[in-house]
Copies of this chain bind each other. A is one copy, B any other.
Amino acid sequence: MNKQKLTLKDVAQMLEVSTATISNAFNRPDQLSAARREDILKACQRIGYHGPNKAAQILRKGQSNIVALVLADNIAYMVSDPVASTFIKGVSKVLHTHNKHLLLYSGNVESIRDVIDFVDGFICYGAPENTELTHQLTASSKPVVTVDFNIPGRPAIDIDNEQAAYEIAKRAIRPGDRVAILGLKLIASANTCRIYDSPLHCADSSISHRRLKGYQRAMQEQGIDTDNEWVWHIPESEGSYARQAAREVLNSHPRPDVVLCMSDIIALELLQYAGSQNIAVPGALRITGFDGIEEAARTRPNLTTICQSSLTKGEMAAERLISGSQESTQLPFDILAGETV
């Protein structure tokens, strides 16, 4: 077992060269002749020195080639969500081509300080559940790229959520409709519930509130009352929460004509429950989703939803972080005209 106890200094002594030369052989090829470099590298190989210690390099250079991906929720949930995992895919793909590595970070931990000193930067995917993290990220001197939420002064990647919501709602609703909204993370509650007059959760930076605004704009244009009694909060885009909301909304009297859902997962759950209750879609009930996950296209009837590319988002976020560009981007979205409207 190769104990990797050799330090650069040891090697320098063994080869009777200065430490600087060994260091240069590994890090700055232009600082010595190619031949000399070859010799040194070969000798190192032979004696089992595999290059400078990374921990020391990190301290000295202030660079680690590690990028932290701060997720909104705990890793466990994020990894199984199709939208989030596609995003992670995009990020990791780009990092890989730059020889950088990916540190997954939960949005519900206490602090970001465990890693802030050595990571090269942060990609922040959605507003972290622990809002303290947002402050720390704001104050940090490290590069930060935000996705699907906003920190003033930091580059952001997202889509025009309000416009997307407006456009899909416009397609779904007709004058005189009763419209319900199944929203995501609208208030600070761990339970599925109607929002009524609860104070909105970080209302300015959250994509959910943008979407809400878009929906409501479309409703107002049709002369429909916007009433928070018909807006549900769902804490996570996850089957079991969505199922509860689906039951509640479809068992309300009078039953809504349209339900606008802030994720496909929610919409699919609703669609399935509607099926089980023999409620015809779109005949008796119109449904819209949001995201454009693959399953939404496989379902019968297939879902009318907003299609956004999580993969592109991930790639772009990683590229932006690496390039250091401070530019923000709004990615395009498509309306996927399905059969549920």
A residues with CB within 8 A of B: 1-4, 50-51, 53-56, 58-59, 62, 64-66, 74-76, 79-80, 82, 85-86, 88-89, 92-93, 96, 99, 101-106, 109, 113-118, 138-141
Contact = CB atoms under 8 A, between A and B. Distances in A.
A96 B74 contact: yes
Contact of A59 (B2, B58, B82, B103): B58
A106 B114 contact: no
B89 A76 contact: yes
Shortest 10 CB-CB contacts between residues of A and residues of B: A54-B117, A75-B92, A76-B89, A55-B118, A2-B139, A55-B59, A79-B85, A59-B59, A102-B104, A53-B117
Given A54-B116, A101-B103, A114-B54, A86 B80 contact: yes
Given A58-B55, A59-B59, A92-B74, A114 B101 contact: yes
A62 B5 CA distance: 13
15 contacts: A1-B139, A4-B141, A51-B113, A54-B114, A54-B118, A56-B117, A66-B115, A74-B92, A79-B79, A80-B82, A85-B85, A99-B114, A101-B103, A102-B103, A103-B103
Contact of A102 (B1, B62, B75): B75
A117 B104 CA distance: 19
Contacts of A58: 55, 58-59, 118
Contacts of A114: 54, 65, 99, 101
Given A55-B62, A101-B115, A103-B104, 11 more contacts: A1-B139, A51-B113, A54-B118, A55-B117, A58-B118, A66-B103, A75-B89, A79-B79, A85-B85, A92-B106, A104-B104
A109 B96 contact: yes
A79 B75 contact: no
Nearest to A54: B117
This chain's copy number in the assembly = 2
B92 A88 contact: no
A167 to B, nearest CB: 29
Contacts of A75: 88-89, 92, 96, 102
A106 B88 CA distance: 13
A105 B101 contact: yes
Nearest to A5: B141
A4 B117 CA distance: 9
Contacts of A88: 75-76, 79
Contacts of A101: 103-105, 114-115
Contacts of A76: 88-89, 92-93
Interface centre among A66, A93, A104 (most CB of B within 10 A): A104
B96 A89 contact: no
Given A54-B118, A141-B3, A96 B85 contact: no
Nearest to A56: B59
A136 to B, nearest CB: 9
B79 A89 contact: yes
Contacts of A93: 74, 76
B102 A96 contact: no
A313 to B, nearest CB: 14
Nearest to A1: B139
